[in-house]
Amino acid sequence: MPIRYEFEKELTKMHKQLLKMGALIEQSIDDTIEAMKNQDIALARKVIQRDDEIDLMEISMETECIMLVTRQQPIASDLRLITSVLKIVTDLERIADHCADISEYVIRLSNEPYKKPLEHIPMMAQQVKKMVKDTIDSYVEKNIEKARKVIDDDDIVDKYFEDIVKEIQDLMKIQEDFIIQGTYFIFIIKYLERMADHATNICEWIEYNITGKLKYK
């Protein structure tokens, strides 16, 4: 069997694995939002368990990428693709980690009703979810404009973060019994903000894979 044919076959397999990983992460984001809104402990635990599955997928894909370079004879564009996939997989796994992190706080918050109605945090989470979905779509479509739009949308999440932190801090000043719960909420929105950062990182690697130009921050 020609080397190039075998290499393309392996690339297709790797592509499908990445899409499967992305679909699982989108499900975890959905479940995390739902668990947070409804204080659903069982669903939060499901997100945490799924993170282990995604961790294994990351290890498997990293191994496959290394083996591709070792077994085959990749040209420059192939190496750029493999490098991009390695970076993308790492950032996707971090997003899954943060879903699990948020779910841990959902469990901690489950013993008492929320002292503040959840309004802006779910809105922020939905914006993050949209960014992650658009990130996966831009990878599938090799759509550089969509990837750049995700990068721009990170500013929306940053604004949510700043506004919600101020809102929580203001409430802490007048409700002493909200301090612990408010602190947990700040941790949650920080994880959401980091998830958006990882989506942005992925889109920068997608742009690199398409253009061959890597941006340095």
Model confidence at 1, in pLDDT bands (50, 70, 90)? very low
Tens-place pLDDT, residues 44-75: 999 999 999 999 999 999 998 888 877 766 67
Are the CB atoms for 126 and 160 separated by under 8 Å? no
More confident residue, 131 or 2: 131
pLDDT value at 186 more than 80? yes
Closest CA to 62 of 90, 25, 81, 94: 90
Which pLDDT does position 166 carry in this prediction? 96
Tens-place pLDDT, residues 146-173: 999 999 999 999 999 999 999 999 999 9
Longest dimension (CA), the chain: 72
Which pLDDT does position 2 carry in this prediction? 59
Q: What is the pTM of this model?
A: 0.92
* Residue 132 Cα distances to 24, 87, 102, 125, 181, angstroms: 12, 15, 16, 11, 27
Which pLDDT does position 103 carry in this prediction? 98
pLDDT value at 116 more than 90? no
Which residue type occupies 19?
A: L
- Report the CATH superfamily, name and number, of domain 3-211: Phosphate transport system protein phou homolog 2; domain 2 (1.20.58.220)
Token couple for 23 = 């679909």
Closest CA to 180 of 108, 130, 81: 108
Model confidence at 3, in pLDDT bands (50, 70, 90)? low
Which pLDDT does position 9 carry in this prediction? 82
